[in-house]
Amino acid sequence: MAEQEAKNGPKTPLTSKGVKTRQKLLEVAEEVFGTKGYFAAGIVDITQQADIAQGTFYNYFSSKYEIFAELIKQLSRDFRSQIRMEVAKAKNHREAQQIGFNVFFKWVKNHRNLYSIVQQAVLVDESLYRSYYERLAKGYIKGLEEAMGKGEFKELHAETVAYCLMGIGQFIGMRWVYWEGEDVPEQVFADAMTLVFEGIAKT
């Protein structure tokens, strides 16, 4: 069971000011959970850093778990929205894959706590962790099936390919962007794309 520390009650309707306050809490929560960790962090850490009264927090979220869960959902939603917008510019599915990797690496650079937060979800609520990746995979699978249907990619099991590609992006992003705090080197990106589209075996 996920941690429960709720204070039940009606939440403030999301007026324009309310939307801004709620978003500020989420942005600060991203920093707090990313640096302190879910179990060490408290609601007071979030409200103090956001300069918002602790009582106001409960107008928007009923518990620490709720804001953590919403943060993961928002990060996933915003990232997938960015991917869709950028990939729409691609001339073909191969270019779409390259754009997708680049968008992910840029996203990680601007949201470096993403790795830490998503990994924490395994211990907080495994369903959050699984859902995060399943949502990403769903978009990947759709694009891959379209590419296979058009004859641009080999007809392979789309879900298998999706998770393989996600793994490549995940670990390259972790190695260079998350650990080193830099852009993925051009040669690294080029070699990764060669691996994706041509494999590693000599022909």
* Residue where the block lists tokens 């589209």: 197
* Domain presence at residue 40: yes
Name which of 32, 36, 69 is nearest 47 in CA terms: 32
Q: Is there a single domain that holds both residue 163 and residue 77?
A: yes
Q: What is the CATH number of the domain that holds 57?
A: 1.10.10.60
**pLDDT for the residue 13:** 57
Q: Cα separation of 116 and 108, whole Å?
A: 11
Q: Domain limits at 41? A: 10-62
Residue 99 token pair:
């754009």
pLDDT digits (tens, 9 = 90+) for 126-156: 999 999 999 999 999 999 999 999 999 999 9
Q: Is there a single domain that holds both residue 137 and residue 41?
A: no
pTM given for the model? 0.88
Q: Is there a single domain that holds both residue 134 and residue 93?
A: yes
- Mean pLDDT, the chain, rounded, equals 92
Give the contacts of 27 (CB within 8 A, at least 6 positions apart): 50
Q: Cα separation of 83 and 125, whole Å?
A: 26
pLDDT digits (tens, 9 = 90+) for 93-116: 999 999 999 999 999 999 999 999
Q: Are 7 and 58 in contact (CB under 8 A)?
A: yes
pLDDT at 122 over 90: yes
> Domain total for the chain?
2
Q: What is the CATH number of the domain that holds 175?
A: 1.10.357.10
**pLDDT for the residue 7:** 44
Beta strands, E only, the chain: none
pLDDT at 2 over 60: no
Q: Is there a single domain that holds both residue 22 and residue 85?
A: no
Question: pLDDT band at 11, cuts 50/70/90?
Answer: low
The dihedral over CA atoms of 115, 118, 124, 125, expressed in degrees to the nearest 10, equals -160
Q: Cα separation of 180 and 182, whole Å?
A: 5
**pLDDT for the residue 38:** 97
* Domain presence at residue 1: no
pLDDT digits (tens, 9 = 90+) for 175-202: 999 999 999 999 999 999 999 999 999 8
Q: Is there a single domain that holds both residue 105 and residue 46?
A: no
C-alpha of 23 from chain center: 17
